[in-house]
Structure 1
Amino acid sequence: MRPLPRRSNIHKYPVLKWFASTAYKRSYLWSFKGNSIKPALFWGLIVSFAPLVGIQMLVVFFLALFLRANLPLIVALQWISNPLTMGPIYFADYKIGCFFLQLLGIEIVENKILSRHYDWGNFKFQDLFALLDTFPPMFVGGAVIGVFFGVISVFFYNLAAKLYKRPPLPSNPK
């Protein structure tokens, strides 16, 4: 928990420091009650799978304010998409997004750079602009994956909370 933002050190975070006084005044951002944890789990996972590189922390800060969600948890979930996992996550976003868009009848032409047979010897800088057509499927796929994992995480949180609150079984004295 040490690297997570806390009320006492939020002013040290690159983007969050601009909003430190706002965050400090709102105690619900630091609450670990269920009504703060559930939206943080659900929306934090949706944003972590969305292709929002560079602005994720800012997006989740405003989501935490708006939804009254736990700030340390929603920020920590953004570390799912880090430089090591970004490639596989965004590739899965793209493939799943293409699948769901095709289910809706929207034809997606596969990007030539994403093809196995792309000749990287003839790569041109202009080919990078061809990647812009990958964003709609990536957003759809990211939303689908995020909602899937968000629903599962909230379900398991509720299950764990019920098991934790369950009274102990009475022992049979003999």
Structure 2
Amino acid sequence: MARKILKRWMPDPSKVREMKALQFLGDVIHDPNLFHLNRHSVSVAFFFGIFIAFLPIPGQMILAAVASIIFHCNLPITVALVWISNPITMAPLFFATYKFGTWLLGTPIEEFHFEMSWSWLREEVMTIWQPLLVGSLLTGIISGTLGYLSMQAFWRWQVVRHWNKRKKLRENPKA
């Protein structure tokens, strides 16, 4: 079943509750529903984890933790999926969302040369923020929805497969 597959990769809830990075959540982190593995909890976690991964903002893990509390979905899965945008994938991912945003808004792609400084970041963000934000939001919504629907379908497929196995065993117990 899908629950068994996910449970293999899930961290122990007591270890997650002890993480210093999540202590800002206080007693809310002790809610057992944040660690449930059911179709709704996991699917919603996939939506918010993937959606937040496409947002070009700092503190994605904190936002994912807060979203999982507000929307009652699985905390570890939501926070783990945010790592789709990691230091290796961040540049190509956000460049792709920027290009998508320019296409949606009908604006030209701005030429820029990367420089590792705060002044460059401040100046360039002011020129590219609209297409980047529009592209990121729409890509996040589309990807999150696909993640949600995929997990719903996968979970349903696993349950039906399990039911069919049980049905075959009842019909032919010696096989």
Deviations 1:12-43 (A, max 9, x none): 243x122253211x111111111211211111
Letter in 2 for 1:23: I
Segments of structure 2 that go 5 or more residues without pairing to the other structure are 1-8
8 Å CA contact 1:101–1:137 kept in 2: the answer is yes
Letter in 1 for 2:15: S
Instruction: Work out the percentage of aligned pairs sharing the same amino acid.
Output: 23
Structure 1 residue 162: Cα displacement: 1.9
Structure 1 residue 5: Cα displacement: 7.3
Question: In the alignment, does 2:55 pair up with 1:50?
Answer: yes
1:13-162 matches, cutoff 5 A = 13-14=20-21, 16-24=22-30, 26-53=31-58, 55-102=59-106, 108-113=107-112, 126-132=119-125, 133-162=127-156
Cα RMSD after superposing both structures: 2.8
**Which of 135, 157, 162 is the aligned partner of 1:163?**
157
Paired residues in the alignment total: 158
- TM-score, normalised on structure 2? 0.76
Detail structure 1 runs of 4+ shifted over 4 Å in the superposition. 123-127, 169-173
Whole-Å Cα distance in 2 between the matches of residues 88 and 138 of structure 1? 12
The alignment partner of 1:82 has SS state of coil
Whole-Å Cα distance in 2 between the matches of residues 12 and 60 of structure 1? 15
8 Å CA contact 1:113–1:127 kept in 2: the answer is no
Letter in 2 for 1:93: T
Structure 1 residue 90: Cα displacement: 0.8
Deviations 1:100-121 (A, max 9, x none): 122xxxxx3533415xxx9x8x
Segments of structure 1 that go 5 or more residues without pairing to the other structure are 103-107
8 Å CA contact 1:7–1:23 kept in 2: the answer is no
Question: In the alignment, does 2:14 pair up with 1:7?
Answer: yes
The alignment partner of 1:9 has SS state of helix
8 Å CA contact 1:50–1:138 kept in 2: the answer is no
Mean alpha-carbon deviation: is it higher for 162-171 or for 147-156?
162-171
- TM-score, normalised on structure 1? 0.77
Whole-Å Cα distance in 1 between the matches of residues 34 and 117 of structure 2? 47
Q: Which is richer in helix?
A: 2
Whole-Å Cα distance in 2 between the matches of residues 124 and 33 of structure 1? 45
